[in-house]
């Protein structure tokens, strides 16, 4: 059974408008499906956890309503289809208990949609759904894990589906997450522009720090003035920016892009060139490939995972894992 999970707040409510286009297609084909709309994160997490191996516990029963519990009790298997952006996909990925027995799909909704873009999901939701129903392609993809010490000193491990990093791109994500401009632009279907505007601003405002990367085979790299360091599963993040143009989400490796600070005119040129994947030609930008990397900074930095910024860190280990069953 297809279980469509909607984030009603994605891209200023676009999810409900998209669902009105998808529902007639499913009904006309007599597809077995259920729609679940989660206004609270804890309910989404509880459902996905229970549906993917966690079982129905007393806590699950308290958190979920009768509709969700009924689906869990009566469905022999559930295929999760996310109607939302990268943030919703990240929540779902982290809630999955048993990845081996879970099928995950998505319909493009949101301002970023980098995971869908990286995997060739059609921009038009109706076409994406028809492809999923008529010509499903199952891919065994990599995903990432970030292990770090959070704000209260507790060691935390979280998954990411696209990328994780510190520095420039994380600072952009943190500022965009609090931006009122993003909501306004989303209503005009121009949400990507906020990333561009904040990205230019951050070039002029962010402070640098020393960073050391410890990779496989004792390969160690340090720069005195960090611009950004990111570990990528896929080639694009931040609204279609190909930071690692050669990243392969099936090879078991992180592609790492490390950039040191440079004069502002040069950074502005690099930001323009990155959209064409030509930023790696500059001397202050290097790329590496590693199964894991430990990133240590001299000053606390915002960390992002698929655009979500939980806290500042000084020490984080990023690792590539295999086994995400994605169907498009």
Give the pLDDT confidence score for residue 272 in this predicted structure: 85
pLDDT at position 139:
96
Domain ranges of the chain: 2-136, 144-322
Specify which residues 287 forms β-bridges with: 257
Q: Are 211 and 226 in contact (CB under 8 A)?
A: yes
Q: How far apart are CA 18 and CA 227, in angstroms?
A: 38
Nearest to 285 by CA among 255, 305, 318, 308: 255
For residue 37, give the 3-state DSSP assignment: strand
> Comparing C-alpha atoms, which of 203, 199, 289, 291 is closest to residue 244?
289
Measured torsion, CA atoms of residues 123, 124, 129, 131, in degrees rounded to the nearest 10: -70
List all residues 6 or more positions away from 176 whose beta carbon is below 8 Å from its beta carbon. Answer: 182, 194, 195, 198, 307
Distance CA 155, CA 251 (A): 28
pLDDT tens digits, 125-168: 999 999 999 999 999 999 999 999 877 788 999 999 999 999 99
Tokens of 31: 């597809």
Torsion of CA 17, 19, 24, 25, to 10 degrees: 120
Q: Which fold has domain 144-322?
A: Tumour Suppressor Smad4 (2.60.200)
Strand, coil or helix: 278: coil
pLDDT at 17: 87
Topology of domain 2-136, CATH: Rossmann fold (3.40.50)
CA distance 123 to 297: 38
Q: Given this model, what pLDDT does residue 188 score?
A: 47
272-295 pLDDT per residue, tens: 898 888 898 999 999 999 999 999
Which secondary-structure segment (H or E) carries 76?
none
DSSP state of 280: G
Cβ pair 75, 52 in contact under 8 A: no
Parts of the chain with a pLDDT under 50: 188
């Amino acid at each position: 059974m297809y279980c469509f999970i909607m984030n009603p707040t994605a891209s200023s409510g676009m999810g409900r408008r998209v669902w009105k286009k998808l529902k007639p297609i499913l009904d006309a084909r007599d597809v077995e499906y259920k729609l679940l709309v989660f206004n609270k994160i804890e309910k989404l997490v509880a459902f996905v956890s229970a549906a993917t191996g966690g079982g129905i516990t007393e806590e699950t029963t308290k958190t979920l309503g009768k509709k969700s519990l009924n689906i869990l009790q009566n469905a022999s298997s559930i295929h999760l289809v996310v109607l939302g952006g990268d943030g919703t996909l990240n929540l779902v990925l982290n809630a999955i208990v048993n990845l081996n027995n879970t099928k995950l799909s998505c319909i493009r909704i949101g301002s970023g949609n980098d995971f869908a873009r990286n995997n060739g999901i059609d921009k038009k939701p109706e076409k994406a759904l028809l492809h999923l129903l008529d010509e499903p392609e199952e891919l065994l993809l990599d995903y990432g894990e970030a292990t770090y010490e959070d704000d209260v000193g507790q060691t935390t491990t979280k998954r990411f589906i696209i990328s994780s990093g510190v520095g420039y791109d994380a600072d952009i994500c943190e500022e965009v997450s609090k931006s009122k401009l993003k909501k306004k632009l989303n209503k005009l279907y121009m949400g990507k522009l906020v990333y561009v505007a904040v990205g230019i601003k951050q070039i002029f405002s962010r402070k640098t720090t020393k960073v050391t990367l410890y990779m496989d085979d004792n390969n160690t790299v340090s720069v005195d003035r960090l611009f950004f360091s990111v570990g990528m599963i896929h080639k694009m993040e931040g609204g279609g920016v190909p930071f690692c143009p050669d990243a392969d989400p099936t090879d078991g490796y992180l592609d790492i892009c490390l950039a040191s600070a440079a004069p502002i005119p040069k950074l502005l040129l690099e930001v323009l060139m990155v959209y064409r994947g030509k930023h790696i030609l500059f001397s202050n930008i290097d790329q590496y490939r590693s199964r894991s990397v430990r990133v240590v900074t001299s000053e606390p930095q915002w960390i992002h995972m698929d655009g979500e910024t939980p806290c500042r860190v000084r020490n984080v280990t990023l690792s590539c894992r295999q086994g995400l069953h994605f169907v498009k």
